Structure formats: C-alpha cells, structure tokens
Structure 1
C-alpha cells in the first residue's frame, strides 16, 4: 500500500494558496480530477518511479504513442526538447516516457501543482505559472540545465485552446530560448499530434466569452486524460536548431520563440 502517495486536491490547493476551499467545491474538484481513480492507481503502482511510472499509466489507459522521424533526434540528449501542448496531461506523460526510454532519462518543466504526483518528482521540474518562482524550484532548474539530462518543455505553459478559428497553443513564452543559450543546449522542435474532446473546447469558449477568471478547463484536464483510453498518438520530430545559430543571429528571443512555435505547428 502507498497511501502516503495519494493526491488530495483540497490540501494541495490550500498549501499553494493559503486558502481553504469550501467542502462542496473540494468535492466537485475531486470528481473533476478523478481523485479516487488516481489514488487507486497510486496505491497500486506508487513504488514505480519516473519513466517506469509513466509507462504504467499509459498501459493502464491502453494509450499508445510513437515517434515520427525518430532519426532526427540528436545522438546527444543534452538538448532542450520543446513541443506544442494539445492535451494538457497525457502528452506530457507520453513525451516523458518516449524521451526517457530513448535517452535513459529525462526531466520536464511542468506546472508546480503536478509536483504533488510523487512518483513523477524525479522527472518533473516544477514551475509556478501564476507568480514568482520558489527558490527550491529555481535551484532544481539550474541544476538540471547544468547537467546532461534531456529537458522537455511546453513553452505555451497551458494546453492548446480554440484561437482564431483553430485549435492551437497560445503565444509561447521566450524563456526557453534564453535557457538554451545560457546552458548551451540545442533546441529540438516536436509536434504532439492530438486534441481534447469537442466538449472541452466548447466549455472553454463559453467560459472565456463570459470572462470568468477561474480557469475551469484546467480543472477538466484530468478528465480529458481518462478520455484518451484506447487512443493512439504520434510525436513528429523536427530538425534540431543549434544554440549557436540562435545566439549568433542577432535576433531577439521573442523572434526565435515565435519562429520555433510556427515550425512546431507546421510539422507533418
């Protein structure tokens, strides 16, 4: 039994925000994130760690994922692997698994709330998407960048939504460009092929139309993960871009960020 590994969304939010949610809201969130199913899985497989845990989760959901143009992956895994973020959950699990198997290990920049999944803490590098970074998180990231492990990132910071008549990432943040140059890591663009359910995008559009501040669709992502049962996905690898090319171009980080985002969305 691994009850100490269980997720308790109410306690996690209280620890992060310092505010205790009403019981009815905690119960609603527990249902949205499938807390009971997740904790059953954690009790059963919590002794697994990192990439092994990711594989077991994919197996449990009967999800298959494969590379396209795997030969484009650099021999040296000391690179920064960037991807679109269409699913918000299973895409991160899948990429952690694929890169971890290919290179023997991986670390991934993720929302710090996901750091509560203890079997994945060896893979995850927590990032606060809503405020200042914790000193411990900054130290973990700096250590990872200085090391030789592959590092994965979703520069959008959020999963893809319906924008300008199509499903796509929101604008990417250019911080990954600076990371690549400072750590002397090439950038490998990747496109994860997939999308969430139609009702997810409908709810998001209605929610944004009325201007609600609470991001309901983020709370729906665990449910979307369980909806991927039995599905197959592919990851298209693009041509690596050397950090020297970026550094010597004289162009800004934002220009390169936008360029690589376009490259990723055009991969086929």
Structure 2
C-alpha cells in the first residue's frame, strides 16, 4: 500500500539535532508518527513541571558520597502557589530559615550548595548527585582546601533562594543546582547558578549560569569542569556575574573562510 507521507528532502540532517525538523507531511498536516511524538514530548514536559520532588532520595544519594544535607522548603506551600507566585519560591519558609540559623557555623564556609526542584524535579533527581561527586573530585586537590557547608535540598525553590541559604550558612559562594523549564526535547535539563557573597537582593547580573546539564546536552563531566574553574576564579577574584567570564576553554579562532563558529566556548551560559 502506497504511503501518503511526503518525505522532506533534507531529512538526513535530522541525525544532527533533536530539534523537530524535516518531519515530512501528509497532505497539509504532519504525519501521524511525528504528531504523536510531539504529544508525548509535551506530556513529558508537563509531567516534569508537576512531578513531586523526591528529596529523600537525593538526601540518601548524597549521604552515600559522604555529603551531609538539610531538607528545606521555600515559602511556597504547594506546587500551585509555587507556579503562580514566583516570589514565594525565592525565599525560605520561616521554619526552614530557623533551621538554617540553628545549623549555622561561626567559621565561614567557602561554598554552600543548594539542590532545588525548580521547574523539573526530574532533572536534579537524575543529575545533581553525579555532578556534585565529580565536582568534589575536581576541587579535592586545590592548594587551598574548600570548606563545604551541608547541601540544602529545597522543595519548591527558585534560583534566588540560594542567596538566603548561602547567607544563613555563612558561605562565600553559593551554587544552586535547579531543574530548568522543560523543553519539548529536554524534560530533565539541570541549570547551575553561582553567586559570590550571597545575600537576599542579589540580581541575575551577579550570577554565572551553566545550563542544559544532561547527557543529551552539556555532559556532567564538562559541566563540573567549567564549574570548578568558575569556583576557583570567583574565590580568587571575589566576584561572579558579568565581571567573571568562563575562560575554562580557549575560544576557537575564526575559520579560514572568515565565518564564526556555531557556538563560542568559554562564555557564561545565561
């Protein structure tokens, strides 16, 4: 039986990207298979946003690599409030803030790590602990040892909640691992946000960001390497954000034809 699907002439390029290109057509519409695949991806993205955060599993995995943790909650009481009131996700609940004050240390920490569900709990459940294990390996041999605060695992958290956590833990730097807004091919993408001298009121211009950390995006090993470089540079220069560029990888020169490369490496992913 003859197929009604008209193939696209440049369909071979699909092997180079997960983007929905060259899908062909059936009449004036998408063929059934890519249409169903789109619906599945949309459902996966929605599920990632509403997935309950298994903080206990993350805490257990952290304990297996000897990284103590505290489980906290933002001021957003539930997922509905979190999605409708972004401001509540940027600060701790009163109970969680009090818990951090009790666990504060008179000796300043070099780094506080926050693991927050964000808009994809699936992302941090899959990638946070492997990333932290690799990051600690990279920092272990630094001449100046890193004093690490207990990891803060935060329900219903947004990026800026790291400022309050870092301040209460007396940390010079805070690194927030958070689930990014799911795309239609990336329901488990994790973002990393680094801020020097964290305190409530910091702006995004004062942070460095590395995004799309997942096997199909930026590999965990590369993300950990870039983060380690930024951490060392931030501690040495006492700055993050627009004043600190990621120079962990030397930028490639222009090609012989004078055209710019597809992506410049070494730039902060904002």
- TM-score norm. by structure 1 comes to 0.29
- Which entry has the higher C-alpha Rg, 1 or 2? 2
Instruction: Point out which structure has higher relative CO (alpha carbons under 8 A, 6+ apart).
Output: 1
Q: What's the TM-score once normalised by structure 2's chain length?
A: 0.29
